[in-house]
Chains A and B, each alone.
Chain A
């Protein structure tokens, strides 16, 4: 109270407002400059992911699930919908090629985000790609790259549900060979797929 140079509240509020205004101005300019590129990058990454899990996809359109019905998503590309989204892919002749659906769930460490392809005619999963994970390097992170593990998802039945089995023990179309040394991560992928497919498959019509 006795310090002579204590600044008044006006000076303090004024400085804070000015700092906020300045930073707001900078942010608006940079946001406008970068946003088109960021959205284009996101859309490109998504398209690449769809192509990875739906082998014959030439292009894909997002559909959202609203009020028990599937309808085209009209938001801008890269802007996430608040509703569940599936991507309906068509091949180069414009024929339906399958759906790409993203899903996520807990892994061994942190959330695993993945995308998988679904062929509505055969009712099977036709591809799977892990997009984001923090599984143990050298062990759990093989779910991203192990070719033998990934080939499990090329024609995987989901009826009655996907069952993880020991490496090399797969005999039925709904079984997944786990990776030795990455059993927990492999099972986590199966669990994510089981819950997502049970939710999604009844919603998707066979003819796109």
Chain B
């Protein structure tokens, strides 16, 4: 997995773009089901993100390696078989070595199969690119997904349970804001963060326009 770092900058760029500029949740806005469902605690977000990153990287590698051998009409079926294989690998590995986290995430690990980030990256990237950039793309998208899961689960856990990574923060007098760990809290947090991001983007674009305007007039 160290190859994308040593590889030419193109692969590194493929990795970095998933973190922010083409972030799967905040920018492409896909894969929202697990984002809503499991972000009640930070540790859930981290484990889910790690499992998804593994599945993304491994299936991207295999799909990219076989891309010339897979006939077009059956490519989706082959992708799903490959993705399902690595999801089972992730599922069993978690059950064997992190039983507590596996129990918490329950069916959502198996549901990575239908996470559209993975099939989306297979179709949009791995099917058209060599192995190394595909792995980089998979890892980047996975890390971007993990980043957002942590950004959503942190306020939810802190406000809704008064803990961070399971460590109590406020003492006994704290009354948890329970709605934050219930489904509406997920929507509220995602909406708040998406609108903050949109406001920030809008503001920086206006700034850029204001800076370049006098120049254009001068020319």
Contacts and interface: CB of A to CB of B under 8 A. Distances in A.
Contact of A15 (B74, B99, B181, B182): B74
B88 interface: yes
Contacts of A38: 92, 95-96, 99
A30 B93 CA distance: 8
Nearest to B178: A138
Interface in A18-67: 18-20, 22-23, 26-27, 30-31, 33-35, 37-38, 41, 45
Given A11-B71, A16-B78, A27 B88 contact: yes
Interface stretch (B3-11, B25-33, B79-87): B79-87
Contacts of A26: 85-86, 89
A30 B92 contact: yes
A205 interface: no
Interface in B48-90: 62, 66, 69-74, 77-78, 81-82, 84-86, 88-89
Contacts of A138: 176, 178
Interface in B154-198: 160-161, 176, 178, 181-182
Size category, B interface: 20 to 34
Contacts of B160: 137
A41 B182 contact: no
A45 B70 CA distance: 44
A12 B74 contact: yes
Interface in A85-117: none
A41 B95 contact: yes
Interface of A: 6-7, 11-12, 15-16, 18-20, 22-23, 26-27, 30-31, 33-35, 37-38, 41, 45, 136-139
